[in-house]
Amino acid sequence: MNLRFILCCALSLSVGHCNARKCTTRRTTGYPTSTSTSVSSAAPTCSAAPSTLHLKSSPYENYFISDCHSSGQVVVTSPAEGDDFTVIAPRLLFAWPAGNSGAALLFVPDNGINGSLTIEAVNSSTGTPLGPIYNPAPAGAKNQNASYGISTHVSLNSTARLNVAILGSIRTIRDYVEGPSILRPEIQSALKFEENKDGGVTISRLWLDNTTTTTVVFSPASDNIKAKVNNQSVTFAAGTWAVNASFNYPQPTQLGDKQVLQPESYNLIERNATLVESLAFLSYTDKLLAGAWRFLTYFGRDSMIATLLMEPVLSQGKGGAIEAVIAAVLDRVNSSDGSVCHEETIGDYSTWQNLRESIPSTAPQCDYKMIDTDFYLPILMNQYFVLNPNGSARTSEFMKTGVTFFPKDANLTYGDMALKTAERIMEKAAPFASNQSIANLIHLKDGQSVGQWRDSGSGLGGGRIPFDVNTALVPAALRAIGSLSRHGFFNHSDWKETADAYAKVWEDKTLDFFTVTVPESDAKDLLKAYVNASSFAGSDQSGSIDGDVDFYALALDGSNDQAKVKVMHSDTSFRLFLVNGTDDAQLSAFLNDTAKSIVRTFPAGLLTDVGMLVANPAFTGVASDAKTFATNAYHGTVVWGWQLAMMARGLELQMSRCGGNSGSASAAPPAFCGDKAVYNNVVAAYNKLWDVIEANSEHLSNEVWSWTYGDNKFKYIELGALPPPPGSNPVESDIVQLWSLTFLAVKRNGKFRDS
Ligand SMILES: *[C@@H]1O[C@H](CO)[C@@H](O)[C@H](O)[C@H]1NC(C)=O
Ligand SMILES: *[C@@H]1O[C@H](CO)[C@@H](O)[C@H](O)[C@H]1NC(C)=O
Ligand SMILES: *[C@@H]1O[C@H](CO)[C@@H](O)[C@H](O)[C@H]1NC(C)=O
Ligand SMILES: *[C@@H]1O[C@H](CO)[C@@H](O)[C@H](O)[C@H]1NC(C)=O
Ligand SMILES: *[C@@H]1O[C@H](CO)[C@@H](O)[C@H](O)[C@H]1NC(C)=O
Ligand SMILES: *[C@@H]1O[C@H](CO)[C@@H](O)[C@H](O)[C@H]1NC(C)=O
Ligand SMILES: *[C@@H]1O[C@H](CO)[C@@H](O)[C@H](O)[C@H]1NC(C)=O
Ligand SMILES: *[C@@H]1O[C@H](CO)[C@@H](O)[C@H](O)[C@H]1NC(C)=O
Ligand SMILES: *[C@@H]1O[C@H](CO)[C@@H](O)[C@H](O)[C@H]1NC(C)=O
Ligand SMILES: *[C@@H]1O[C@H](CO)[C@@H](O)[C@H](O)[C@H]1NC(C)=O
Ligand SMILES: *[C@@H]1O[C@H](CO)[C@@H](O)[C@H](O)[C@H]1NC(C)=O
Ligand SMILES: *[C@@H]1O[C@H](CO)[C@@H](O)[C@H](O)[C@H]1NC(C)=O
């Protein structure tokens, strides 16, 4: 499948950049040096055309629209020849950040022949192809909310039957799409189907809050076409239909392109228009969203990783993007134990969750099952409030802000929440600092099979003690807590020293638990066995093995009594990016081994033509791992855009420690800088990685992608276009993912080009 990005705009491109969100408020003066300026809160006016974006990723056509009232996305899926029709079916999907809401309409060709129905969004008088819907609450009608939505025209090339309609929450839609096929009677029974006089049909559903209604109206836009309701299904004649999807729910305030970027980075608005538009679509005054369409809501890990990587270009100061991220995290901390919220549940889904517990309430919920997310918070806070002068000037005002998310926490401030999280981290880190046992490493929570970013059932190969958390996030968070404590945070004067003392132990003593050494001849045998087990069509690359293969386990305490999950992986990027190890012997070996894992082609290493894979199970010696980590698994032998960025930036930061001509270093350069073999391996890894990043520039803002093998190379394919692993539904990638936009800030550093 080929993927093309097409940037469109309601305004003509020749008018200039097509993201002139004139209808949003703008900064007034002097940003960022003045600490008193902020995004103006003057009421927006809506004179400009909405900004729109079209991203094609066959078989998905993604359209975005934003104006001062609301923003939304439409995904039109139309199977084409060559698609797997059991995976790709005709679908029209609306998604809105407000309340993480949406509407999914799933069609089948009325003639029953899969692949015979084409569905397309087309330009019309109401939109190109999307137009906004905004119906203010009638004047004087106190008891009504305005309604917001999207108007478009959709053409059907043959008679279509609407089989399934899901109106309400994106989460309910995901339960169906990924579920598999879960339809909840308490949601579906509220659907109403009505034939209209014009030959069209209205589908609507009152949410469980008894207040909000999602409404989708189809009206004929071709002559003499009709829709017929038959119980809970609708038959549409072939032709063009005007479709209006809307809901009466309060909308968040979007940050426009100039509000989400630092003024120094405004050049990106024209240079990387698609990425900036995508970033703006995900950015609101109270939070940044993780991805469109599946994760159109708060995710702690995603927003903090994205912010750490994009900090140089994101807007700073009051009302800026970085503070929106930190505020969103602090707002959602569990005030009882300081844990940081992984994912929020809002809108219709939160009401549904409450009703399941017999609580008639629309109150939001948070999921605290992750073990990694807590640690990002002090790291990001230190980056912004200590290391960034614009942030440090904001510290006292920001920390006094009252939290707003959970009514029960209304008396607490951001400072209170930050302290609770730091206390939690200090407490979790203490046992290992005094006794370096496996038991004292950070484990997944009891009863949970996930806990860090590889959050799918088999993402960690059954491991319970993840590499990233223990070797990178904990020591980095401890360093950050030490630094914050020395800059007036937390009121625990002992932390000024103990946090760093703990950090040193976690930096130096965790890596050894994860080392894996595969003797050269075993490695070659394992590669041959893997190629047989996985039916991989390319070379086993055993020729590139010139010694024992050393790498780091993805996790400890794996399934089938594996003490180490011997999956080669890209989570070494966390340590490169966040930790400057000072044990020279360990650092040299770590950099050398990590570099070689990147330089070598899969299955000997992680490199492919479509990017660095996040996992390679070739060396586990467990035959079933070939399937567990296959090309169709969410955290299998697949490529994640942000992992490429973090690895690239991490390698760059480590090389920067060498000072001299190749960087600026304050401390004495580590020993690896003078070890030609190691240093050259790192430089080679950096450059190979960047070569493959550049060769895949059109895919980089995707969440995740996969490959097929043919003509002696790895070829790009949408993850969602591959048949799913047995027993699971297809995983559709988000076309726009917050942390995949990080290449806006992460650039190839010419200083480290190899000769
Ligand atoms: C058409 O595709 C659906 C899945 O979308 C599948 O259940 C059905 O069996 C297919 N029908 C035919 C005739 O292949
Ligand atoms: C609709 O489009 C599909 C896919 O291109 C095609 O197979 C089918 O024949 C078309 N149907 C009609 C009635 O033209
Ligand atoms: C629809 O309108 C957009 C914006 O004017 C334009 O870029 C696009 O080419 C149009 N599409 C078609 C199929 O005409
Ligand atoms: C659909 O929305 C457009 C734009 O707001 C509006 O002009 C049109 O009348 C609406 N159609 C229906 C049937 O509500
Ligand atoms: C407007 O929306 C908010 C949020 O859903 C809700 O609390 C309020 O009751 C709504 N008002 C009316 C009159 O629908
Ligand atoms: C309508 O659909 C429901 C649920 O699918 C089913 O239980 C009912 O029998 C159907 N009624 C008719 C008249 O087909
Ligand atoms: C918050 O933390 C407390 C104490 O650990 C726990 O009992 C509670 O369940 C947590 N809240 C949520 C929503 O998980
Ligand atoms: C909505 O109304 C129903 C019926 O009156 C009631 O049972 C339910 O608790 C209400 N939902 C909420 C969230 O108040
Ligand atoms: C907040 O503090 C005030 C004054 O101390 C108290 O009356 C109120 O009950 C507190 N509210 C909550 C939600 O704890
Ligand atoms: C680094 O790897 C090279 C092989 O590429 C090897 O010769 C060298 O001994 C390694 N150095 C360290 C410190 O591991
Ligand atoms: C590691 O060193 C580099 C180069 O000096 C520096 O830019 C980076 O901030 C350091 N990272 C940490 C976590 O101290
Ligand atoms: C941004 O635009 C520049 C100039 O066109 C281009 O070289 C660069 O690759 C773009 N960056 C990304 C992340 O697409």
Judge if the beta carbon of residue 210 lies within 6 A of ligand 8: yes
* pLDDT for position 23: 27
Nearest atom in ligand 6 to 230's CA: 14
* All residues at 6 or more sequence positions from 616 whose CB lies less than 8 Å from its CB, including other chains: 567, 568, 569, 597, 602, 603, 605, 606, 629, 637
Stretch 567-580: mean pLDDT: 98
Residue 449 binned pLDDT confidence (cut-offs 50, 70, 90) = very high
Query: Whose CA is closest to atom 9 on ligand 1?
Result: 86
Q: What's the token pair of residue 248? A: 């009466």
Stretch 293-302: mean pLDDT: 97
Interatomic CA distance for residues 595 and 233, integer angstroms = 56
Instruction: Tell me the ligand closest to 151's alpha carbon.
Output: 4
Burial of 246 (0-12, 13-18, 19+ CB in 10 A): buried
Are 556 and 465 in contact, with CB atoms under 8 Å apart?
yes
Which of 462-471, 560-569, 586-595, 716-725 shows the lowest mean pLDDT across its residues?
Answer: 716-725
Q: What's the token pair of residue 301? A: 């890990």
The domain limits of the chain are: 31-247, 282-486, 514-752
What is the per-residue pLDDT across 638-666, written as a single tens digit (0 to 9) for each? 999 999 999 999 999 999 999 864 444 46
CA of 52 to the centre of ligand 3 (A): 11
Query: Whose CA is closest to atom 1 on ligand 5?
Result: 145
Q: Pocket of ligand 1, candidates 86, 88, 729: which has the most ligand atoms within 8 Å of its Cβ, to mutate?
A: 86
* pLDDT for position 666: 60
Instruction: Tell me the ligand closest to 368's alpha carbon.
Output: 7
Judge if the beta carbon of residue 440 lies within 6 A of ligand 2: no
Query: Whose CA is closest to atom 11 on ligand 7?
Result: 334
Q: What's the token pair of residue 194? A: 């009505």
What is the per-residue pLDDT across 184-231, written as a single tens digit (0 to 9) for each? 999 999 999 999 999 999 999 999 999 999 999 999 999 999 999 998
Judge if the beta carbon of residue 478 lies within 6 A of ligand 11: no
3-state secondary structure at position 205:
strand
To the nearest whole number, what is the mean pLDDT of the chain?
91
CA of 402 to the centre of ligand 9 (A): 12
Does the pLDDT of residue 309 top 70, yes or no? yes
Among residues of the chain, what percentage have pLDDT more than 70?
92
Interatomic CA distance for residues 586 and 678, integer angstroms = 12
User: Cα angle vertex 339, ends 336, 344, to 5°?
Assistant: 100
For β-strands 201-206 and 51-57, DSSP reports them as unpaired
Are 442 and 448 in contact, with CB atoms under 8 Å apart?
no
Q: Map tokens 């703006």 to a residue.
A: 280
Residue 751 binned pLDDT confidence (cut-offs 50, 70, 90) = very high
Query: Whose CA is closest to atom 13 on ligand 12?
Result: 743
Instruction: Tell me the ligand closest to 80's alpha carbon.
Output: 2
Does the pLDDT of residue 12 top 70, yes or no? no
CA of 131 to the centre of ligand 3 (A): 13
Interatomic CA distance for residues 325 and 552, integer angstroms = 32
Stretch 570-579: mean pLDDT: 98
Query: Could you write out the DSSP letters of every residue in 546-559?
Result: -S-EEEE-SEES-S
Rounded to 5 degrees, φ, ψ at 147 are: -115, 150
Q: What is the largest CA-CA distance in the chain?
A: 81
Count of CB atoms situated within 10 Å of the CB of 537: 10
| Number of helices (H), then strands (E), in the chain | 22, 34
Q: Map tokens 């048949």 to a residue.
A: 723
Stretch 106-111: mean pLDDT: 96
* All residues at 6 or more sequence positions from 548 whose CB lies less than 8 Å from its CB, including other chains: 517, 518, 519, 520, 523
Which of 403-417, 713-727, 735-749 shows the lowest mean pLDDT across its residues?
Answer: 713-727
Does the pLDDT of residue 4 top 70, yes or no? no
Query: Whose CA is closest to atom 12 on ligand 6?
Result: 231
CA of 547 to the centre of ligand 10 (A): 10
Stretch 738-751: mean pLDDT: 97
Query: Whose CA is closest to atom 14 on ligand 4?
Result: 244
- E strands, 78-126, are 91-96, 101-109, 119-122
Does the pLDDT of residue 81 top 90, yes or no? no
Does the pLDDT of residue 25 top 80, yes or no? no
Q: Pocket of ligand 8, candidates 208, 213, 350, 365: which has the most ligand atoms within 8 Å of its Cβ, to mutate?
A: 208
Query: Whose CA is closest to atom 10 on ligand 6?
Result: 231
Q: Pocket of ligand 9, candidates 335, 411, 413, 416: which has the most ligand atoms within 8 Å of its Cβ, to mutate?
A: 411
Nearest atom in ligand 3 to 12's CA: 5
Q: Map tokens 């394992």 to a residue.
A: 526
Does the pLDDT of residue 15 top 90, yes or no? no
* pLDDT for position 500: 98
What is the per-residue pLDDT across 530-545, written as a single tens digit (0 to 9) for each? 999 998 999 999 999 9
Q: What's the token pair of residue 533? A: 């087990």
Chain-centre distance for alpha carbon 142: 38
* pLDDT for position 45: 55
Query: Whose CA is closest to atom 10 on ligand 5?
Result: 145
Interatomic CA distance for residues 693 and 698, integer angstroms = 9
How many CA atoms lie within 13 Å of 350's alpha carbon, on the beta-carbon side? Answer: 17
Does the pLDDT of residue 368 top 90, yes or no? yes
Which of 72-86, 297-311, 340-354, 431-445 shows the lowest mean pLDDT across its residues?
Answer: 72-86
Which of 96-100, 281-285, 293-297, 620-624 shows the lowest mean pLDDT across its residues?
Answer: 620-624
Judge if the beta carbon of residue 231 lies within 6 A of ligand 6: yes
Residue 17 binned pLDDT confidence (cut-offs 50, 70, 90) = very low
What is the per-residue pLDDT across 135-176, written as a single tens digit (0 to 9) for each? 998 887 777 889 999 999 999 999 999 999 999 999 999 999
Judge if the beta carbon of residue 363 lies within 6 A of ligand 11: no
Helix or strand run (H / E) with residue 310: helix 300-310
CA of 665 to the centre of ligand 4 (A): 61
Nearest atom in ligand 2 to 117's CA: 1
Q: Map tokens 């809160």 to a residue.
A: 41
Query: Whose CA is closest to atom 11 on ligand 3?
Result: 123
Helix or strand run (H / E) with residue 331: helix 321-331
* pLDDT for position 755: 67
* pLDDT for position 16: 26
What is the per-residue pLDDT across 466-479, written as a single tens digit (0 to 9) for each? 999 999 999 999 99
Judge if the beta carbon of residue 303 lies within 6 A of ligand 8: no
Interatomic CA distance for residues 622 and 562, integer angstroms = 10
Stretch 545-560: mean pLDDT: 95
Predicted structure pTM score:
0.92
Instruction: Tell me the ligand closest to 409's alpha carbon.
Output: 9
Highest mean pLDDT among 21-30, 142-151, 195-204, 733-742: 195-204
Nearest atom in ligand 8 to 354's CA: 13
Helix or strand run (H / E) with residue 240: strand 239-247
Interatomic CA distance for residues 217 and 223, integer angstroms = 17
Does the pLDDT of residue 49 top 90, yes or no? no
Chain-centre distance for alpha carbon 475: 24
Judge if the beta carbon of residue 580 lies within 6 A of ligand 11: yes
